[in-house]
Amino acid sequence: MPQVAVEPPANTEPDITIPSELPKVGLEDFDLLKVLGKGGFGKVMLVRKKNTNDIYAMKVLKKEAVIRRNQVVHTKTETHILKQIRHPFLTRMFFAFQNEGKLYMVLNYLPGGELFYRLKRETRFSIERVRLYSAEIALGLGHLHSLDMIYRDLKPENLLLDEVGHVCLTDFGLSKEMVTTANAAKTFCGTPEYLAPEILQNVGHGKAVDWWSLGTLIFEMLTGLPPFYSRNLNHMYDKILRAELRCPTYLPSDVTALIQGLLIRDPIKRLGSGPTDIKELERAPFFTPLDFEKVYKKEYTPIYKPNIGGETDVANFDPTFTNEAAVDSVIDTSQLSDKHKNEFKGFTYEDTSYLTGPQ
């Protein structure tokens, strides 16, 4: 990945001494507390940095699984993006390190759990609740777009709640950088229910795919199902491409208008696809009750506040995982060639502002 050098202003002397090398942080610097989730590449654990009260979520990936599933580029992109972003509604990485067999990303812990879990239990949310969630998500997506990045995997499983109830986008494994045109990206990727038509048509795609996914998500949060859902995958793809969008009559006209604007099949005409990106959404009547500056500053109180017993409480995560012992399993690295062992050069990272604790 290219390194961006920032030059100091001319004729100025730095007033601090920057150490030539940051202190190394590794697995031995953390206490493993609980398992939060597991997937095909590894798992996520709740951890505490030793000799501190700082709690984090540690994402552990097995190099062998990442390489076998051709996810090296996606993994490198995810860490490169996480090193750059600082936004209230996007997850934050504090450390990254590796050993022979695994990759470790240390992220902010969001104790409210997945939005998916809440939606599954409650079936659907109130309009007021969806209004704030979608405004926060839109600001996160808009920030990525301002950096010429696209997210490409918006779904309830990738939205976590903080201790107050604000949402945060996690998992940038399908994100892409340097997206400057409407058809800059070519990869067929995402989650079926939320795929934009242009991804299915394989004609190239850009930032507008995220606004389509947001329209799909808003519809799902308000009704309980995505708008073109079908158990038959091919039938669902066909519906995404051709079926009439039918909004329930119980949805107010401003809600329907927003969903219809976001689910325009032509990405050039889709709400948010213009040069002002998220500003188009901010002007939608649905968002009139909100001041987006206040949304950014988290000055609105979410309707739902997660029930959290303490800073290490994991009650909002699946007990299938949280009941497991939190251990870093030993793996056989003999199958990894020297090339593969060095595949992730430059992965290591330390955010020095962690010295003040998680923000």
Domain check: are 71 and 211 in the same one?
no
Looking at 40-54, 237-251, 277-291, 320-334, which range is the least confident one? 320-334
Domain check: are 258 and 155 in the same one?
yes
Domain check: are 120 and 101 in the same one?
no
Say if 330 falls within a structural domain. yes
Residue 105 sits in a domain of what CATH number?
Answer: 3.30.200.20
Cβ–Cβ under 8 Å, residues 258 and 280: no
Domain finish residue from 296, 318, 333: 296
Is residue 206 pLDDT above 80, yes or no? Answer: yes
**Residue 136, C-beta contacts closer than 8 angstroms, at least 6 positions apart:** 88, 89, 166, 167, 295
Q: Which of 17, 102, 97 is nearest to 56 (CA)?
A: 97
The dihedral built from the CA positions of residue 180, 89, 123 and 109, taken in this order, carries a sign that is positive
Say how far apart CA 7 and CA 20 lie, in whole Å. Answer: 17
Domain check: are 286 and 174 in the same one?
yes
3-class DSSP state of 321: helix
- Alpha helices, DSSP H, located in 9-114: 63-68, 72-84
Say if 329 falls within a structural domain. yes
User: Active site residue: 54, 153, 210, 351, which one?
Assistant: 153
153 catalytic residue (yes or no): yes
Domain check: are 164 and 237 in the same one?
yes
At residue 287, the pLDDT reads: 98
**Residue 333, C-beta contacts closer than 8 angstroms, at least 6 positions apart:** 63, 64, 100, 101, 341
Say if 358 falls within a structural domain. no
Q: Which domain holds residue 91?
A: 27-110+310-349
**Residue 30, C-beta contacts closer than 8 angstroms, at least 6 positions apart:** 47, 48, 49, 50, 56, 58, 106
Domain check: are 65 and 123 in the same one?
no
At residue 265, the pLDDT reads: 97
Looking at 97-101, 240-244, 353-357, which range is the least confident one? 353-357
The per-residue pLDDT for range 168-185, each reduced to its tens digit, is: 999 998 899 988 878 778
Domain check: are 147 and 90 in the same one?
no
Is residue 221 pLDDT above 50, yes or no? Answer: yes
Number of domains in the chain: 2
Q: What is the mean pLDDT of residues 193-222?
A: 95
Domain check: are 341 and 200 in the same one?
no
At residue 343, the pLDDT reads: 83
Domain check: are 269 and 175 in the same one?
yes
Say how far apart CA 179 and CA 191 lie, in whole Å. Answer: 20
